[in-house]
């Protein structure tokens, strides 16, 4: 789904851009969504996994940087001497799991784009039923589960919950889905967390300060510089503009930038359109690694994937937050 413009922060609530009538009509749906979430959280008894579970969650619909953070946390646990693996729901895939993802054999259509991306750099699992997947992972020898998303899913007990927040666009217009991008009220979500990971430049949101939670600063950094020459960039992620801006800031000669909806499945017509833009500008096509795994296999070699990684400003502070996991 492509985020509606009226979800954006800073709009005059009475302006046409903020779509006041649309927001008013969506208010009952937001109320029902929130009521359903609260009921689920109150009535579900979380199952305790055989091994520690770290949840990398967020409070908004997409675009915060959970997957790169999941990869970085998983790597940090491995550096500490434990076998860690990521666990994802497998959004958009046909497989239900529990399943250990094979980056060389599985496709995004089978397991989802984010698990496939995580499998390219380490051990990654999917499972619609998270407790069942956690048990399977433990039997397979996984010592720490790093769950990509799931803060609003109470089925599995979390030993450590880290909330990822985009410092440039923390909570959108401040309303709950579908009236705004929030998955729940900010204070409620932070109350179930152990720490906040603030991604990118920007002040600490007042709600985070009021929560008293530890704040870890991190940023997305390119693994390599963009390729030389003119580029036509495209992306189907939570915030495509963030990718386009990062590419330009890193020195990329971006001639055109095409946004798609998050998790967009690229069709032959999409590829034909993108290739026509590249031919017009005598440019090379470039996209995110998350988008790259969703491309048809026959065109991947023609399109450059620009990888980024999550870099923490203070690794000692990160290790302090992770210390209970190693003690257990």
**pLDDT tens, 140-168?**
999 999 999 999 999 999 999 999 999 98
**pLDDT tens, 51-88?**
999 999 999 987 788 999 999 999 999 999 999 999 99
Q: Which helix (H) or strand (E) holds 231?
A: strand 230-235
Could you tell me if 96 and 211 lie in one domain?
A: yes
Q: Domain residues for 284?
A: 224-306
Could you tell me if 102 and 66 lie in one domain?
A: yes
**263 in a domain, yes or no?**
yes
H helical segments located in 2-112: 20-43, 66-79, 108-111
Cα 135–chain centre separation: 24
H helical segments located in 93-232: 108-111, 113-119, 130-139, 186-191, 206-211
Contacts of 157 (CB under 8 A, 6+ apart): 46, 47, 48, 49, 53
CATH number at residue 186: 3.40.50.300
Q: Is 77 exposed, middle or buried (0-12, 13-18, 19+ CB in 10 A)?
A: buried
Interatomic CA distance for residues 328 and 322, integer angstroms: 11
pLDDT at res. 1:
61
Could you tell me if 183 and 292 lie in one domain?
A: no
**65 in a domain, yes or no?**
yes
Could you tell me if 264 and 201 lie in one domain?
A: no
Could you tell me if 197 and 319 lie in one domain?
A: yes
Output the furthest CA–CA distance in the chain (Å, rounded).
Answer: 58
Give SS3 for 20. helix
Q: Domain count of the chain? A: 2
Q: Which two tokens stand for residue 43?
A: 């009535």
Give the chain's mean pLDDT: 94
**173 in a domain, yes or no?**
yes
**24 in a domain, yes or no?**
no
Could you tell me if 138 and 278 lie in one domain?
A: no
Could you tell me if 172 and 266 lie in one domain?
A: no
Could you tell me if 125 and 59 lie in one domain?
A: yes
Could you tell me if 91 and 197 lie in one domain?
A: yes
Could you tell me if 250 and 262 lie in one domain?
A: yes
- For the chain, give percent helix, strand, coil, nearest 5: 35, 20, 40
Residue 177 pLDDT > 90, yes or no? yes
Could you tell me if 209 and 71 lie in one domain?
A: yes
97 φ, ψ (degrees, to nearest 5):
80, -175
pLDDT at res. 64:
83
């Amino acid at each position: 789904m492509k985020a509606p413009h009226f979800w954006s922060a800073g709009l005059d609530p009475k302006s046409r851009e903020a779509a006041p009538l649309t927001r008013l009509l969506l208010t009952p749906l937001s109320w029902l969504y929130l009521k359903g979430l609260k009921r689920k959280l109150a009535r579900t008894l979380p199952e305790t996994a055989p091994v520690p579970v770290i949840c990398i969650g967020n409070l908004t619909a997409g675009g915060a940087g959970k997957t790169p953070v999941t990869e970085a946390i998983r790597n940090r646990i491995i550096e500490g001497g434990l076998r860690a693996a990521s666990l994802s729901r497998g959004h958009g895939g046909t497989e239900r799991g529990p399943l250990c993802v094979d980056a060389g054999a599985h496709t995004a259509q089978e397991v989802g784009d984010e698990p496939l991306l995580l499998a390219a750099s380490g051990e990654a699992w999917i499972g619609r039923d998270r407790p069942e997947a956690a048990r399977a992972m433990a039997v397979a020898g996984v010592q720490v589960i790093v769950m990509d998303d799931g803060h609003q899913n109470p089925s599995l007990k979390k030993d450590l919950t880290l909330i990822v927040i985009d410092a440039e666009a923390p909570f959108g217009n401040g309303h709950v889905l579908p009236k705004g991008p929030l998955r729940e009220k900010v204070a409620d979500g932070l109350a179930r967390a152990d720490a906040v990971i603030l991604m990118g430049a920007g002040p600490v949101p007042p709600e985070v300060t009021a929560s008293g939670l530890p704040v870890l600063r991190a940023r997305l950094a390119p693994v390599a510089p963009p390729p030389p020459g003119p580029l036509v960039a495209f992306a189907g992620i939570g915030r495509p503009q963030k990718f386009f801006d990062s590419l330009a800031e890193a020195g990329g000669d971006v001639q055109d930038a095409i946004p798609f909806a998050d998790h967009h499945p690229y069709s032959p017509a999409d590829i034909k359109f993108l290739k026509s833009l590249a031919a017009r500008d005598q440019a090379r096509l470039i996209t995110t690694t998350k988008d790259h795994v969703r491309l048809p296999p026959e065109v991947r070699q023609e399109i450059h994937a620009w990888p980024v990684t999550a870099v923490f400003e203070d690794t000692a502070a990160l290790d302090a937050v992770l210390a209970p996991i190693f003690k257990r």
